[in-house]
Amino acid sequence: MKKDIILSGVGGQGILSIATVIGEAATAAGLFLKQAEVHGMSQRGGDVQSNLRLSTEVIYSDLIPVGSVDLIISMEPMEALRYLPYLSRGGRVVTSSKPFVNIPDYPDHEALLAELASLPDVVSLDIEEAARSCGNPKGANMVLLGMAAPAIGVVGADELRAAIGRVFARKGDAVVAANRQAFDLGLAEALKY
């Protein structure tokens, strides 16, 4: 069993934290893992992307070929669309519906949402609003991870929740609890689809 994932967003949104949690869960489950990160001008709101490959078999490359991605997890709708050429037939997109407008010629928001809605398998939500609603405005990335959990498959929601505990343990019990609550909110949203 394998899962090829592209994580994308804008610098500072928490994409690499999502990759760390998934990687921690995969390592604890005894899976093979390869990761390649591409950082844009993250300090200036540039794009950040990570290839994450999980498998029960040995993985020889850390880069995912075009047309082979099983899952795109994106903190930002335009960034989700940027990586569509990598999506396989039957692949899923899990994304925030709220744009991060960081360039003057950012595409029309309604047009972005319409393009996302035209895809066969998309889960989207205003993750920032969802994070605020559970009292953790910085937890939008964990809301997104919860939304993606059913599609990850090779590690389950319980394994991801446990990994959140290990990854954020040094920040204290309150941070772990807040991130798990955000994750659970995203998971509940995903189960509606």
SS3 161: helix
pLDDT tens per residue across span 119-172: 989 999 999 999 999 999 999 999 999 999 999 999 999 999 999 999 999 999
Residue 92 and residue 70: Cα distance in Å, rounded?
A: 6
159 within a domain of the structure (yes/no) = yes
Structural domain span for residue 77: 2-97+118-190
Residues in the chain: 193
Chain-wide mean pLDDT for the chain? 91
CA 21 to chain CA centroid, Å, is: 10
110 within a domain of the structure (yes/no) = no
Residue 77 and residue 71: Cα distance in Å, rounded?
A: 14
Amino acid present at 126: D
Q: What is the pLDDT of residue 44?
A: 55
Q: What is the pLDDT of residue 99?
A: 85
Q: What's the predicted TM-score (pTM) here?
A: 0.92
105 within a domain of the structure (yes/no) = no
In DSSP notation, 95-108 reads EESS----STTPPP
103 within a domain of the structure (yes/no) = no
Spans in the chain with pLDDT lower than 50: 42
Residue 160 and residue 82: Cα distance in Å, rounded?
A: 26
Looking up residue 70, the CATH number of its domain turns out to be 3.40.920.10
102 within a domain of the structure (yes/no) = no
85 within a domain of the structure (yes/no) = yes
107 within a domain of the structure (yes/no) = no
Report the number of distinct structural domains present in the chain.
Answer: 1
Residue 92 and residue 146: Cα distance in Å, rounded?
A: 14
111 within a domain of the structure (yes/no) = no
